[in-house]
C-alpha cells in the first residue's frame, strides 16, 4: 500500500513537471519585450486592471494555478495538438478547449464591456501567458508524445525531455535574468516590428506548427544535447521569444485602445 502510494505520488510529480509551459524565464522575457511596444494607454489600462501589477509578474500565473484543482479546466488551454499537416480548422478539437480557443475567448471577454473587472483580470493574465505558449513550437506538437514530453533526451548529461529543453533547459542554461535576455533581443531598426506583428492567432499557430517539425527532427531519442545544440538552436529560441513579445504587444494594444 505504502509503495503504491509512493509510486502514485512520484507519477503525479512527473506529470506535474511535464506539463509546464515555457518556464518562468521564457514567459517573463516575453512579457518584458511586450512592455517595450505597449502604447501608453494600453499600459495604463493594464496596470489598473491588474491592481498595480505589470504583465511580467502575471505571465506565469496560468502555470501557478495548475496546482489548484479548481483550475483543472484550464489545463488543456496551454497547447493544441492537431495532427501534423492538418489545419487547425479541420482538426478534431478538444471539446474542453485548447490554446487557440482559449486565446480567442480571452480576447473576446477582454473586449466585452459587460465583463466584470475580476473576469477581465483573470483573462488578461491567461492571455499574456498563452501568447507565449503559442510560440513554443512543441505547444503545437503531437498528441502521441504530449508535445515532446515523452521524448527522453539529456541536457548536458542531465535527464530531461525534448519539451522541457524548449520550455526551460535551453533558456535556464544561459544563466541570465529575464531582463538581460530581453535586452539581447533585436530591436528596431534591426527588426521590422510591423512585419513580425502581421497576421493573427491562426497564422502564428501555423508558423509554430511548421517549426515543431524542425524541433522534432533536431534530436535522436536519448541523445545528449550540449553546446552544439545550443549553438544551432538558440537563435531560433530567441526569435520565438522576440516574436511572442512583439505579437503580445500587438494583441494588447488592440484590446486596450
Ligand atoms: N503539455 C502537456 N501535454 C501536452 C501536449 N499534449 N502537447 C503539448 N504540450 C503539452
Ligand atoms: Zn502554459
Ligand atoms: Zn511547455
**Residue 206: how many CA atoms within 13 Å on its side-chain side?**
10
| DSSP annotation string for 95-129 | TT--HHHHHHHHHHHHH-TTS-HHHHHHHHHHHHH
Structurally, the chain folds into a number of domains equal to 1
| Pocket-forming residues, ligand 1, beta carbon under 6 Å | 19, 79, 81, 138-139, 141, 143, 146-147, 149
Ligand nearest to the CA of 63: 2
* Residue of the CA atom closest to atom 1 of ligand 1: 19
From the CA of 28, how far away is ligand 1's center (Å)?
20
C-alpha 193 to ligand 1 mean position (Å): 30
Q: Which numbered ligand comes closest to the C-alpha of 79?
A: 1
Which ligand is nearest the CA of 166, by number?
3
Q: Nearest Cα to 33, choosing from 152, 174, 188, 169?
A: 188
pLDDT for the residue numbered 255: 98
Q: What is the CATH number of the domain that holds 146?
A: 1.10.575.10
How far apart are the C-alpha atoms of 29 and 9, rounded to whole Å?
32
Per-10-residue mean pLDDT for the chain, 257 residues long?
57 50 94 98 98 97 96 97 95 96 98 98 98 98 98 98 98 96 96 98 98 98 96 97 98 98
Q: What is the pLDDT of residue 88?
A: 97
This prediction has a pTM of 0.92
Give the strand pairing for 224-225 and 158-161.
unpaired
The beta strands (E) that lie in 124-230 are given as 152-155, 158-161, 224-225
Which domain, by its residues, includes 75? 2-255
Distance CA 233, CA 214 (A): 10
Amino acid at each position: 500500500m505504502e509503495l503504491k502510494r509512493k509510486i502514485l505520488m512520484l507519477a503525479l510529480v512527473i506529470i506535474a513537471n511535464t506539463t509546464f509551459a515555457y518556464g518562468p524565464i521564457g514567459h517573463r522575457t516575453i512579457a518584458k519585450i511586450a512592455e517595450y511596444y505597449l502604447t501608453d494607454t494600453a499600459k495604463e489600462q493594464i496596470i489598473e486592471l491588474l491592481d498595480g501589477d505589470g504583465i511580467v509578474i502575471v505571465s506565469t500565473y496560468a502555470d501557478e494555478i495548475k496546482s489548484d484543482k479548481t483550475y483543472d479546466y484550464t489545463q488543456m488551454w496551454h497547447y493544441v495538438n492537431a495532427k501534423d499537416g492538418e489545419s487547425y480548422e479541420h482538426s478534431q478539437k478538444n471539446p474542453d478547449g485548447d490554446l487557440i480557443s482559449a486565446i480567442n475567448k480571452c480576447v473576446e471577454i477582454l473586449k466585452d464591456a459587460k465583463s466584470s473587472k475580476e473576469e477581465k483580470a483573470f483573462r488578461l493574465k491567461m492571455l499574456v501567458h498563452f501568447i507565449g505558449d503559442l510560440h513554443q513550437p512543441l505547444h503545437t506538437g503531437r498528441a502521441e508524445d504530449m508535445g515532446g514530453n515523452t521524448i527522453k533526451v539529456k541536457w548536458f548529461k542531465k535527464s530531461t525531455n525534448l519539451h522541457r529543453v524548449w520550455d526551460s533547459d535551453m533558456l535556464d542554461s544561459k544563466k541570465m535574468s529575464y531582463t538581460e535576455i530581453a535586452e539581447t533581443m533585436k530591436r528596431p531598426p534591426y527588426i521590422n516590428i510591423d512585419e513580425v506583428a502581421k497576421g493573427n492567432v491562426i497564422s502564428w499557430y501555423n508558423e509554430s506548427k511548421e517549426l515543431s517539425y524542425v524541433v522534432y527532427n533536431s534530436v535522436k531519442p536519448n541523445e545528449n544535447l550540449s553546446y552544439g545544440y545550443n549553438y544551432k538552436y538558440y537563435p531560433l529560441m530567441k526569435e520565438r521569444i522576440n516574436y511572442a513579445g512583439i505579437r503580445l504587444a500587438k494583441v494588447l494594444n488592440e484590446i486596450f485602445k
